[in-house]
Amino acid sequence: MDKLSIKNWALDDRPREKLLSKGSESLSNAELIAILIGSGNKKESAVALSQRILYSTNNNLNELSKLTLSDLQLFSGIGEAKALSIIAALELGKRQIIAETFQKPEITSAYKAYMYLSHFLTNLPHEEFWILLLNNSARVISHHKMAQGGLNSTIIDVRLIAKKALENNALAVILAHNHPSGSLLPSQEDKSVTLKIKNALSLFDIKVFDHIIVGENNFFSFADSDML
């Protein structure tokens, strides 16, 4: 099986050597994963194994990030250590994107709110409810996850939302949650919760600018749909 060893490949085809000589941008996703796992199995090189893992997710890194430790260990040659390396690398990538994105931007549209919050709410198997707190210039003060539920609903505590807004001296709030089903249509519960929060925060002169429902690759805005 020596022919499957990366050591026997041409120098330009070895992922580590290729990274050193040509830079990380020159490597395919499979080659980058191969560097993480280091070796394949008795029948496949690290690159071939990585290609097969990617193929199982339609070569979609977002789908790959959804694989659990157990999912990854179903592939021959992927033990706990290798699976953890893949999961850790994908998490670091996600955090790097978030760090670049969140520079206290001014939220002037539903789209900007969606782009800010989608990093937290996309590709989740369960429903989560977040708030985005804004100052008098509509700039982000902070963001907070307020609830996490099952596939169909979350439990929202309006008192905690009001407390968080007051603690941060927020003058406006944008609500957001995801629909794991992919549907963007607000449920009657979504509408009721929105009105309840809006009425509660109005007692403190805090405005609800919008409520964003995040889907797979799109969003629904209560404000844009004249539902606030």
Average model confidence (pLDDT) across the chain: 87
211 pLDDT higher than 90: yes
Over residues 39-97, the pLDDT tens digits come to 889 888 899 999 999 999 999 888 898 899 999 999 999 999 999 999 999 998 888 77
**Would you say 41 and 81 are in contact if contact means Cβ atoms under 8 Å apart?**
no
172-178 and 207-214 beta bridge pairing: parallel
- The pTM of this model reads 0.59
CB count, 10 Å around CB of 114?
23
CB count, 10 Å around CB of 53?
23
Six-digit token string for 59: 């070569």
User: What pLDDT shows up at residue 3?
Assistant: 44
Write down all domains in the chain, each with its CATH number in brackets. Answer: 2-100 (no CATH), 103-221 (3.40.140.10)
End-to-end CA distance of the chain: 65
